[in-house]
């Protein structure tokens, strides 16, 4: 693989956390004495790849802006209390893919709008932590993506090279692809994740994968644009 540094999203790319988010929001509404959030609204905010603050802000609406920090704190307490790890699972093949990429000498960074505590707990549960050179996650109310500053402040200093042509961003939503565009690096859309095709395809990702194991095939792929009905899962745009 010509890419040495891989920036990898977490939710919807490495781990399926949709059920963890749903269950946490269900418990959160109960704790706060509020009506349950509508399932279709939950799916909408998940599919957009929003940070926790933006997700809860969208679900609550403008009427509870002042109370938002308490909602955020309660959400994190519930999610990080064990429910998040228990209700999350790696996508098929992820554990083997991460191990192989690490053993091949790739620099792996998680860049996620999720909180760091929940990411680290999940990585520890699946013994994947040592494979990653760093975890760039939300800090307080500040989400790292799509703001390029997080890359230059928290990733670039830890890289073993300074060539953006060897950096690949892998993620499932338009926020991930927008982050790659803001950095001026190649992008890979994980189409099996949460992002909506209508929002991701217009950003013209360099690669499209339909399973985590497709990442291992980037070295061997000699691309043409995908033809209608093509059987190959991996597409180089």
How far are the Cα atoms of 61, 68, 187, 207 from residue 214, in angstroms, in the given order? 39, 40, 14, 10
* Burial class of residue 70 (count of CB atoms within 10 Å of its CB; 0-12, 13-18, 19+): exposed
Tokens of residue 190, six digits: 């994980």
Q: Of 172, 202, 165, 201, nearest to 186 (Cα)?
A: 165
State the pairing for strand pair 15-16/89-90: antiparallel
Rounded to 5°, angle at Cα 10 from 9 and 16 = 130
How far apart (Å, rounded) are the C-alpha atoms in residues 210 and 122?
Answer: 23
Q: Which residues of 198-212 are buried (b: 16+ CB within 10 A; e: fewer)?
A: ebbbeeebbbbbebb
- Residue 234's pLDDT is 57
How far apart (Å, rounded) are the C-alpha atoms in residues 113 and 127?
Answer: 21
Cα–chain-centroid distance for residue 2? 22
DSSP letters for 142-203:
B--SS-THHHHHHTGGG-S---GGGEEEEESSHHHHHHHHHHT-EEEEETTSSS-HHHHGGG
Contact (CB, 8 A) for 91 and 100: no
Which residues are registered as beta bridge partners of 228? none
Q: Of 170, 173, 155, 165, nearest to 215 (Cα)?
A: 170
The residue behind tokens 């699946």 is 126
What is the residue-level pLDDT of the chain in tens, covering all 237 positions?
A: 689 999 999 999 999 999 999 999 999 999 999 999 999 999 999 999 888 999 999 999 887 767 899 999 999 999 999 999 999 999 999 999 999 999 999 999 999 999 999 999 999 999 999 999 999 999 877 889 999 999 999 999 999 999 999 999 999 999 999 999 999 999 999 999 999 999 999 999 999 999 999 988 875 543 333 333 333 455 555
Within 10 A of 152 (CB to CB), how many other CB atoms are there?
A: 11
Which residues are registered as beta bridge partners of 167? 5
State the pairing for strand pair 89-90/107-115: unpaired
- Residue 230's pLDDT is 35
Q: Of 11, 14, 37, nearest to 24 (Cα)?
A: 37
């Amino acid at each position: 693989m010509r890419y040495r540094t891989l920036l990898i999203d977490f939710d919807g790319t490495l781990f399926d956390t949709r059920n963890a988010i749903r269950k946490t929001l269900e418990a959160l509404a109960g704790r706060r004495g509020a009506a349950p959030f509508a399932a279709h609204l939950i799916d909408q905010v998940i599919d957009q790849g929003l940070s926790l603050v933006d997700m809860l802000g969208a679900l609550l609406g403008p009427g509870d802006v002042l109370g938002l920090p308490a909602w955020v704190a309660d959400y994190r307490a519930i999610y990080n209390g064990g429910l998040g790890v228990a209700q999350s699972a790696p996508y098929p093949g992820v554990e083997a893919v991460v191990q192989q990429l690490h053993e091949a000498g790739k620099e792996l960074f998680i860049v996620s709008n999720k909180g760091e505590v929940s990411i680290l707990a999940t990585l520890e549960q699946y013994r994947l932590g040592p494979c990653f050179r760093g975890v760039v996650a939300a800090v307080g109310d500040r989400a790292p993506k799509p703001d390029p500053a997080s890359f230059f402040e928290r990733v670039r200093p830890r890289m073993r090279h300074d060539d953006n042509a060897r950096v690949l961003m892998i993620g499932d939503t338009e926020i991930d692809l927008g982050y790659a565009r803001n950095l001026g690096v190649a992008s890979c859309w994980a189409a099996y994740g949460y992002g909506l095709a209508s929002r991701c395809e217009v950003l013209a990702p360099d690669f499209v994968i339909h399973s985590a194991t497709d990442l291992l095939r980037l070295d061997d792929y000699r691309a043409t644009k995908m033809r209608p009905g093509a059987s190959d899962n991996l597409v180089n745009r």
